[in-house]
């Protein structure tokens, strides 16, 4: 297949992944704010979309792409990147259909690993980097965020126990607007960068950009618009799971969870320790739920999420490997992967229409059993 | 395999300190502002029927100081994000 054609295909596929990344991760910033009523659902996704777009322009350090150090970049081609992206997109769609807040970054890494393994052999995959950059942070990030959010929630209830109820609710809801906005901005910066990095890498491997080049403006703009549009579409199923099915979240808990998430994400980004935004935010929500009362948390949901996290990387890797095997057969194989991936994606969307979740019914879920008001 | 344990420890300490500080500051600001709110008594599960612990003027001052500190922390967070 002509190099320029496959590059165009990869760029479009990367932008589609960016779009799915956006709606998959809207919940990270806005789920608890929507659940507590701090933001109206439609306003929440609009704000998150705008801040994701703004975040995309804050940094262009594409040297730290998601694939950096995970696979040997000199041994892969744009076709392999395409196959990896297909694996990531399909896994994102499956977990969205199930309402599971899995990591889009892990899906992308898994897809790239599977595709690279099949195309260039296992030696092209840096497994030690996978363990250090993916597996370990995946275990640590939700635990760290959960413990901090638990302590923050406990303190929030303890300190405001004598405060006027209206003032407390209004104050924490206002705080939620700020903290959720910070997460949305950070998400745009981190996750739009990943797609920019993938597209830039593709342009370099396709010979259309000099090695070491930064992303052209059109790459920054298109990646920012794709993730912003995806965010605005709202991954309502995951928002419902995180906002309503973990615990009956109150403004105190929402603010504590979001402040914790923002602090952990910004600290880890600034200090160079890679953590999954999704897992940080999910850990914070569970911690905030437990901070009011342990029994108010649906721990069975935690088990399902942990299972989804554990299989995200291998599942995306399997899909990426299959796509890579087909796509590297030749142009016909690439076309089959594109058509097959589109058909499966369309089927998942059609399945979602049987039980649609949107801005109007996102909060219509029976809350967990009522609990004792405060931990204090 | 190289794992940067020192960075991880710093992330844990810094994020815990910042998150807890912000939440505590906002909580104290809310307590301070509660002094200005009418107290019908027993209007909710987290409301005390007793009088506020501080006068409205003192409460407002404390709240403003706490919120100012929060603004500085959030501003530094934005600075970290951009730079």
- Helices first, then strands: H and E counts in chain A: 13, 0
How far is the C-alpha of B76 from the C-alpha of A2, rounded, in Å? Answer: 48
pLDDT at position B82, please? 77
Mean pLDDT of A251-271: 89
**Surface of A (117-176) touching B: CB under 8 A:** 128, 131-132, 136, 140, 144-145, 147-149, 151-153, 155-157, 159-168, 171-172, 175
Whether B34 and chain A come into contact, CB under 8 Å, resolves to yes
The pLDDT tens digits of the residues spanning A2-49 come to: 668 889 999 999 999 999 999 899 998 999 999 999 999 999 999 999
The three-state secondary structure class of A358 is coil
Q: Of the candidates A167, A259, A267, which has its C-beta nearest B33's C-beta?
A: A167
The three-state secondary structure class of A125 is strand
Alpha helices (H) in A206-250, listed in sequence order? 217-233, 236-244
Whether B61 and chain A come into contact, CB under 8 Å, resolves to no
Q: Are A355 and A240 in contact (CB under 8 A)?
A: no
The pLDDT tens digits of the residues spanning A283-336 come to: 999 999 999 887 778 889 889 988 998 999 999 999 999 999 999 998 899 999
ipTM: 0.84
Nearest C-alpha of chain B: how many angstroms from A277?
Answer: 14
pLDDT at position A368, please? 55
How far is the C-alpha of A56 from the C-alpha of A71, rounded, in Å? Answer: 24
How far is the C-alpha of A304 from the C-alpha of A296, rounded, in Å? Answer: 17
Most A-contacting residue of B10, B30, B64 (CB-CB within 10 A), to test interface: B30
Whether B64 and chain A come into contact, CB under 8 Å, resolves to no
Structure tokens at A213: 């080049």
Yes or no, beta carbons of B27 and A273 under 8 Å apart? no
Mean pLDDT of A342-349: 95
pLDDT at position B45, please? 46
pLDDT band for position A184 (cuts 50, 70, 90): very high
The three-state secondary structure class of B4 is coil
Mean pLDDT of B65-83: 88
pLDDT band for position A133 (cuts 50, 70, 90): confident
Whether A376 and chain B come into contact, CB under 8 Å, resolves to no
One-character DSSP codes across A61-84:
-GGG-TTTTTB-GGG--HHHHHHH
| Alpha-carbon dihedral A54, A56, A59, A64, rounded to 10 degrees | 160
Whether B51 and chain A come into contact, CB under 8 Å, resolves to no
Identify any residues that bridge with A125 across adjacent strands, giving them in sequence order: A71
A145: left (phi over 0), alpha (psi -120 to 50) or beta: alpha
pLDDT band for position A63 (cuts 50, 70, 90): very low
Structure tokens at A171: 């104050």
CA–CA distances in Å: residue B2 to residues A59, A135, A142, B7: 27, 13, 21, 12
Q: Of the candidates B16, B39, B81, which has its C-beta nearest A164's C-beta?
A: B39
- Give the distance, in angstroms, between the CA of residue A92 and the centroid of all CA atoms in the same chain: 9
Q: Are A152 and A259 in contact (CB under 8 A)?
A: yes
Q: Of the candidates A145, A259, A273, which has its C-beta nearest B8's C-beta?
A: A273
pLDDT exceeds cutoff 90 at A61: no
Identify any residues that bridge with A71 across adjacent strands, giving them in sequence order: A125
How far is the C-alpha of A264 from the C-alpha of A275, rounded, in Å? Answer: 9
Q: Give helix A299-327 / helix A78-98 axis angle, nearest 10°.
A: 150
CA–CA distances in Å: residue B12 to residues A111, A149, A264, A355: 29, 12, 7, 40
From A233, A234, A223, select the one nearest A188 (Cα to Cα): A223
Nearest CA in chain A to B14: A267
Structure tokens at A58: 């804050």
């Amino acid at each position: 297949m002509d190099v320029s054609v496959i590059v165009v295909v990869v760029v479009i596929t990367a932008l589609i992944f960016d779009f799915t990344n956006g709606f998959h991760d809207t919940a990270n910033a806005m789920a608890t704010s929507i659940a507590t009523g701090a933001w109206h659902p439609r306003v929440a996704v609009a704000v998150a979309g705008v801040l994701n777009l703004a975040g995309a322009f804050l940094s262009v350090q594409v040297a730290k792409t998601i694939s950096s150090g995970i696979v040997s970049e000199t041994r892969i081609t744009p076709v392999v990147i395409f196959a990896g992206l297909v694996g990531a997109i399909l896994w994102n769609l499956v977990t969205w259909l199930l309402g599971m807040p899995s990591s889009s970054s892990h899906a992308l890494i898994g897809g790239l690993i599977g595709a690279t393994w099949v195309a260039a052999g296992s030696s092209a995959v840096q497994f030690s980097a996978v363990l250090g950059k993916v597996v370990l942070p995946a275990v640590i990030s939700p635990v760290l965020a959960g413990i901090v959010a638990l302590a923050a929630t406990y303190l929030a209830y303890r300190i405001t126990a004598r405060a006027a109820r209206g003032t407390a609710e209004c104050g924490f809801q206002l705080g939620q607007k700020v903290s959720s906005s910070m997460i949305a901005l950070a998400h745009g910066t981190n996750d739009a960068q990943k797609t920019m990095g993938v597209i830039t890498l593709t342009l370099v491997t396709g010979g259309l950009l000099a090695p070491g080049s930064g992303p052209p403006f059109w790459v920054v703009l298109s990646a920012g618009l794709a993730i912003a549009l995806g965010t605005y579409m709202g991954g309502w199923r995951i928002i419902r799971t995180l906002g309503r099915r973990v615990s009956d979240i109150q403004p105190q808990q929402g603010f504590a969870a979001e402040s914790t998430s923002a602090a952990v994400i910004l600290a880890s980004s600034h200090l160079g320790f890679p953590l999954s935004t999704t897992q940080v935010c999910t850990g914070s929500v569970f911690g905030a739920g437990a901070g009011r009362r342990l029994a108010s948390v649906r721990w069975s949901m935690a088990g399902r999420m942990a299972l989804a996290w554990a299989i995200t990387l291998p599942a995306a890797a399997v899909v990426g490997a299959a796509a890579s095997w087909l796509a590297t057969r030749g142009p016909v194989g690439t076309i089959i992967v594109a058509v097959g991936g589109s058909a499966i994606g369309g089927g998942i969307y059609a399945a979602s229409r049987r039980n649609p979740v949107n801005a109007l019914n996102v909060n219509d879920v029976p809350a967990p059993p009522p609990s004792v008001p405060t931990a204090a | 395999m190289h794992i940067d344990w020192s960075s991880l420890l710093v992330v844990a300490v810094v994020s815990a300190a910042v998150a807890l500080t912000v939440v505590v500051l906002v909580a104290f600001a809310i307590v301070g502002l509660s002094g200005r709110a009418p107290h019908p008594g027993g209007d909710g599960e987290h409301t005390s029927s007793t009088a506020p612990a501080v006068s409205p003027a003192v409460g407002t001052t404390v709240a403003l100081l706490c919120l100012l500190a929060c603004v500085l922390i959030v501003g530094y967070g934005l600075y970290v994000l951009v730079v």
